[in-house]
Amino acid sequence: MTEHDTDIDFDFFEDEPPTQESSRTERLIPRRGPRGPQRPPRGPTNLTPLLRLVGLVAFAILIVVLLVFWIQSCQESSKEKTYKDYMSKVSEVAGSSQQIGKQLNQVLLAQGQKEAQLEQKVTGLARQEQLAVQRAREITPPGTLRDENNALIQTLEYRVSGLNGLASALAATAKSKDTTRAGSLLAAQMQRLLASDVIYQDSFKAPAGQELDRQGVTGTNSSGGPLVPDSNFLQSSDLVTSSAMVTVLSRIRGAATTPTTGGLRGTNLESVKVLPAGTELSTSTQTTVVVRTNMTIQVSVKDSGDSQEANIPVTLRIIQSGQPDVVKRGKIDFINPGEVKPVNFSNFPAPSFQTPAQIKVEVQPVQGESNTSNNSASYPVIFSVA
């Protein structure tokens, strides 16, 4: 071999391109050397939409809560208006019926009328009461007061029945000389009127008031009157007795023969006492009155005439130096001849102690009363704490 033959040329290694494997290796090896400033790390890119979603959900919940409160408020307001409108309509009917009862009281105790006239007037009152029944039936009650509304209608129907029965009894006994039996028949019809007041109180007023309390309805009705109105038809329970109705008949039948006189009429002041001690006041001697929280001054009045009397005003006045006058007013609904009835006054303001005072009492004279000297009196007193 020659020197030329042993000279091997390896240039083909230099011309061969780098393999794919070496190129991949170079890419995986991090470059070293100086770097530029680094950027701060970014937060999660999905946090902002999440916060927006949470805000929208919270806003939606707030809207729903406010809407629920608004609807509830509207329902409560509507409910309260419904109950108050109903009670306003009841008040009109109940008040009208009560006024008819007052007219009956005046008719029964009126002077100088004949039995036929009384019968005619009572029949007219029965017609008026029937109209009240019709008006009550036209009222639509709230669902929870249906039973109470039925009791209201029953109350008025009892009053119609009692008035018609009273007129019929007057007609049936007009020619009877047995006033005792006639008085019993009249009293039986008056008891129907008394029963109507019991039905109204126990089956309408009391349970209706309890239901309104349960519903949270308070204040006055839509007309500004009491939420649950009163309706007292019979002005005096004394008129349901046979003896009272006998007196009514005797007076009426006496008036048919002596219409110009009607008998002696009048009332007088019997006594004035301080309760609960029972201390009787004197017009001539100063009385020491021990003041208690439950102190009541009782005025007793007597019917000193021959006629029944009704609606007699009684006034009590306390006069004391350095204090405004204390004025109390009461009334006797009904009183028979010879009967004594009390009128009680209470809830007095605190007086000045150890200072002389005057208690003045006046019983208003009835129509036709000739002697009024015994209708009023003044009592000197001094108030004490013990």
What is the pLDDT confidence band of residue 32, given thresholds at 50, 70 and 90? low
**CA 125/CA 249 separation, integer angstroms:** 19
Higher pLDDT among residues 146 and 367, named by residue: 146
pLDDT for res 360: 98
Residue 71 has pLDDT above 60, yes or no: no
pLDDT for res 45: 55
Residue 3 has pLDDT above 60, yes or no: no
What is the pLDDT confidence band of residue 57, given thresholds at 50, 70 and 90? confident
pLDDT for res 257: 43
Residue 317 has pLDDT above 90, yes or no: yes
Residue 72 has pLDDT above 60, yes or no: no
pLDDT for res 50: 72
pLDDT tens per residue, range 158-217:
999 999 999 999 999 988 889 899 999 999 999 999 999 999 999 999 999 999 999 999
What is the pLDDT confidence band of residue 336, given thresholds at 50, 70 and 90? confident
pLDDT tens per residue, range 344-365:
999 999 999 989 999 999 999 9
pTM of the entire predicted model: 0.65
What percent of the chain stands above pLDDT 90? Answer: 59
